[in-house]
């Protein structure tokens, strides 16, 4: 069942003329139909109330518009209230694998949403805990990678009551959504977006540790050397040698709003 849209926030790619122009158009369409619009700074829009990213979780919102590329969408999911759905538009971005609409379909998308002609698409997210300190959630992946380029660390992985060890540059833990991102670029398979599983992809493994798809279980990683833990390719946390990094499912799932029914929508965006 769809909800009546009364209050929305608009997040746009910064310093991008196309994305800012689309944000203005979306705001006008919504404002003309008595929808309350907030714009997330540094974006400033006529007929919209400016708000800081950290204030979003205090506002009662029905929907978030993320205008830009996939990077804008990934960033938006880290700052918006957990249960608020998001509509992603690829305007000013590159492939826009996560997006539902582009610059040529702004009006049609808004009309469909306001008419209730949409559905929800839930996506698994993961979070990391470093010695008890929890990171923001990741929609795509966590990259655990060495800092010292002249030393190849030994990584220890524990999951499902088993342990694997090996020397490698790093390891990528991906969700099904993230399987078309960094994971795909290093040769890992594409997973259906609706699966409840995780992909473990070793990077430059000395003993050629294979890629592994496992049920959605907690994964613990330790390194013999200092490393970086990178969240969705955007935020970096330093991990000291021997520190425990535990990656597990984050609740609630990310909620996209969709207006077109498709099978493996992300695979289609890759041109297959």
The pLDDT tens digits for 71-105 are: 999 999 999 988 899 999 999 877 789 999 999 99
Helices (H), the chain: 17-31, 70-79, 106-114, 182-185, 265-269
Whether residue 155 is contained in a domain is answered as yes
| Domain shared by 41 and 68, yes or no | yes
What mean pLDDT do residues 120-134 have?
95
Position 198 confidence tier, pLDDT thresholds 50, 70, 90 = very high
Nearest to 86 by CA among 263, 254, 266: 254
- 240-244: long-range pairs with CB below 8 Å, 24+: 241/153, 243/130, 243/131, 244/130, 244/131, 244/220
| Domain shared by 155 and 105, yes or no | no
Averaged pLDDT score across all residues of the chain: 94
> Which residues constitute the domain of residue 168?
124-250
The pLDDT tens digits for 233-257 are: 999 999 999 999 999 999 999 999 9
pLDDT at 1: 55
How many domains in the chain? 2
Take residue 101 and report the two structure tokens written for it.
Answer: 């609409």
Whether residue 266 is contained in a domain is answered as no
| Domain shared by 145 and 201, yes or no | yes
Whether residue 157 is contained in a domain is answered as yes
Catalytic (active site) residue 70 = yes
Residues in the chain: 272
Burial 74-96, CB ≥16 within 10 A → b, else e: bbbbbbbeeebbbbbbbbbbeeb
Percent of the chain with pLDDT over 70: 99
Position 265 confidence tier, pLDDT thresholds 50, 70, 90 = confident
pTM metric for this prediction: 0.92
| Domain shared by 153 and 211, yes or no | yes
237: CATH: 2.60.200.30
Whether residue 54 is contained in a domain is answered as yes
113: CATH: 3.40.50.10330
- Which of 72, 96, 117 represents a domain boundary (last residue)? 117
What mean pLDDT do residues 163-179 have?
97
The answer to whether 122 and 41 have CB atoms below 8 angstroms apart is no
pLDDT at 224: 98
| Domain shared by 164 and 75, yes or no | no
- Among residues 32, 62, 70, 131, the one annotated as catalytic is 70
| Domain shared by 149 and 237, yes or no | yes
| Domain shared by 21 and 57, yes or no | yes
| Domain shared by 221 and 240, yes or no | yes
What mean pLDDT do residues 17-43 have?
96
Position 134 confidence tier, pLDDT thresholds 50, 70, 90 = very high
| Domain shared by 55 and 99, yes or no | yes
| Domain shared by 171 and 95, yes or no | no
Whether residue 75 is contained in a domain is answered as yes
């Amino acid at each position: 069942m769809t909800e009546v849209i009364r209050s929305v926030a608009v997040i746009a790619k910064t310093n991008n003329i196309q994305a800012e122009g689309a944000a203005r158009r979306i705001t006008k369409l919504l404002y003309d139909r008595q929808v309350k619009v907030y714009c997330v700074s540094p974006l400033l829009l006529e007929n919209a109330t400016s708000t800081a990213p950290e204030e979003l979780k205090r506002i009662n919102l029905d929907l978030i518009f993320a205008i830009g590329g996939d990077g804008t969408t990934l960033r938006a999911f880290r700052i918006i209230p957990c249960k608020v759905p998001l509509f992603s538009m690829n305007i000013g971005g590159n492939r826009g694998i996560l997006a539902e609409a582009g610059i040529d379909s702004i009006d049609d998308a808004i009309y469909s949403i306001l008419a209730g002609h949409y559905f929800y698409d839930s996506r698994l997210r993961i979070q990391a805990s470093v010695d008890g300190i929890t990171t923001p959630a990741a929609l795509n992946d966590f990259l655990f990678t060495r800092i010292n380029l002249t030393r190849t660390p030994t990584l220890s992985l524990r999951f499902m009551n088993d342990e694997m060890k090996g020397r490698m540059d790093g390891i990528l833990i991906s969700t099904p959504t993230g399987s078309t991102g960094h994971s795909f670029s290093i040769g890992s398979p594409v997973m259906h977006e609706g699966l409840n599983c995780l992909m473990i992809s070793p990077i430059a493994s000395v003993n050629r540790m294979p890629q592994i798809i496992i049920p959605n279980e907690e994964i613990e990683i330790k390194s013999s050397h200092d490393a970086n833990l990178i969240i969705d390719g955007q935020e970096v946390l330093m991990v000291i040698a021997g520190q425990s990094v535990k990656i597990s499912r984050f609740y609630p799932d990310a909620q996209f709003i969709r207006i077109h029914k498709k099978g493996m929508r992300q695979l289609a965006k890759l041109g297959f």
